[in-house]
A = this chain, B = another copy of it.
Amino acid sequence: MVKFEGACIFGQSGGPTSAINASAAGVIQEALKQESITAVYGAAHGIKGILNEQFYDMSKENNEELNLLKTTPSSALGSVRYKLKDSSVDDTDYKKLLEVFKKYNIRYFFYNGGNDSMDTCNKISKYMQKVGYDCRVMGVPKTIDNDLYGTDHCPGYGSAAKYIATSTMEVFLDARVYDTGMITILEVMGRNAGWLTASTALASKYDHGPDLIYLPELDFDMEKFLQETVSIYNKNKKVIVAVSEGAKTKDGAYIAELGSNLSKDSFGHSQLGGTASILANVVKKETNAKVRAIEFSLLQRCAAHISSLTDINESYLAGQMAVKYAVEGKTDQMVAFERAEGSEYKCNIKLMNLTDVANTEKKIPREWINDNGNNLTDDYINYALPLIQGESRPPIVDGLPRFSKLKKIFAKM
């Protein structure tokens, strides 16, 4: 049997998270250990870095800094949003990729990202097969949106959920200090799937959760929202509402887009802004209550100071196992999680065909949303709670986190 060996390249793609660098550490540290991997490259800005032959020689990095990647948010190698055309339509990029792969004898390709990135990964895998270039291609999942098909959950989700649930509890307490009325609208990321917004419900475990939660899985009905919010306000004087940035009316219009029309009707002028501030204005007009809109914004995806250790460990493992499987001969797959049966939480690694994963979105099942469509059931809590367990925090130096600093030395032929 001919020994299969060659260089590997790893890329990060799509929106960054608190956990994607943990997967990078898993891939890189495992790849550096493998005899059959002759060089370990990190692509600058994902696929773009490969196309432009801009990648770093990861063997030049200090192992301590690679360890620190586990607690460093954002994408340390740089990320990209780049959609490859179908190779049947335009194979320019593919030809260039093949040329680079050949030039550097790249035989392992690891790509870390969400739906779009798995599509990229899948297309490259299929192209390499088609042209007969022997290369093992593995997807490593990542998305705070938690919407990848076929895996129990996605690396990055648990940490974002932990931040969101914790911050919701803190805001809940803050919003209750005065004996006057107050309505707080929390806006959480998620264009099509409500997993992140749902995580505010975890705060309800300590009775510090939102009164109402609106997910993009269900049509957003402004009248219903107003009626439900005002009804709680009249009873309790305090209301906390969590809403997905992706909340849409039954006509498919985002609330955030509705903004200008809505505000023109209500206030006689246009209004730009996010979903929460638009809803805040609408509810303010109805109640004249003190209303506050809070967007978790980028903070929810980069708050490495309060990551889930379960998530960080699994993210690392996903990267590590991608390398191990590839070395064993697997290709054209994405690493995924499968939850073991039983009352104690345990997730096993499994492999999914890239074809099956690419571009398929997983949403929250209807039965995990309550009948009124404004909160989550215990099924969701039982699903999500294990994912936020354990504390992962960056080391603190002089009162502030010490994040990884890579040398990023460009690889040369």
A residues near B (Cβ < 8 Å) are: 12, 15-16, 44-45, 48, 72-75, 78-81, 162, 165-167, 169-171, 173-179, 184, 202-203, 205-206, 208, 260, 269-273, 277, 281, 292, 294-299, 301-306, 308, 385, 388-391, 396, 398-403
Contact = CB atoms under 8 A, between A and B. Distances in A.
B74 A399 contact: no
Nearest to A176: B74
Given A73-B170, A272-B273, A298-B174, A398 B205 contact: yes
A127 to B, nearest CB: 24
A382 to B, nearest CB: 12
Contact of A203 (B167, B173, B176, B400): B400
Contacts of A202: 399-400
Contact of A173 (B72, B171, B178, B398): B72
Contact of A298 (B79, B294, B302, B304): B294
Nearest to A396: B391
A170 B303 contact: yes
Contact of A385 (B162, B396, B398): B398
A302 B170 contact: yes
B78 A305 contact: no
A399 B388 contact: yes
A203 B399 CA distance: 10
A124 to B, nearest CB: 20
A120 B346 CA distance: 56
A177 B74 contact: yes
Nearest to A54: B179
Which 8 pairs across A and B sit closest by C-beta, in order of nearness?
A74-B173, A269-B270, A174-B302, A388-B399, A170-B302, A79-B177, A75-B177, A389-B399
Contacts of A305: 166, 170, 306
Q: Which of A75, A78, A165, A174 has the most CB of B within 10 A?
A: A174
A65 to B, nearest CB: 14
Nearest to A393: B391
Contacts of A401: 166, 169-170
Contact of A170 (B167, B304, B388): B304
A158 B45 CA distance: 37
Given A12-B177, A270-B271, 17 more contacts: A44-B179, A80-B178, A166-B400, A170-B303, A170-B304, A202-B399, A202-B400, A205-B400, A269-B269, A271-B272, A273-B273, A294-B295, A294-B297, A294-B298, A294-B299, A295-B297, A305-B306
Given A73-B170, A179-B45, A399 B298 contact: no
A81 B44 CA distance: 53
6 contacts: A74-B176, A171-B302, A202-B399, A202-B400, A206-B403, A292-B297
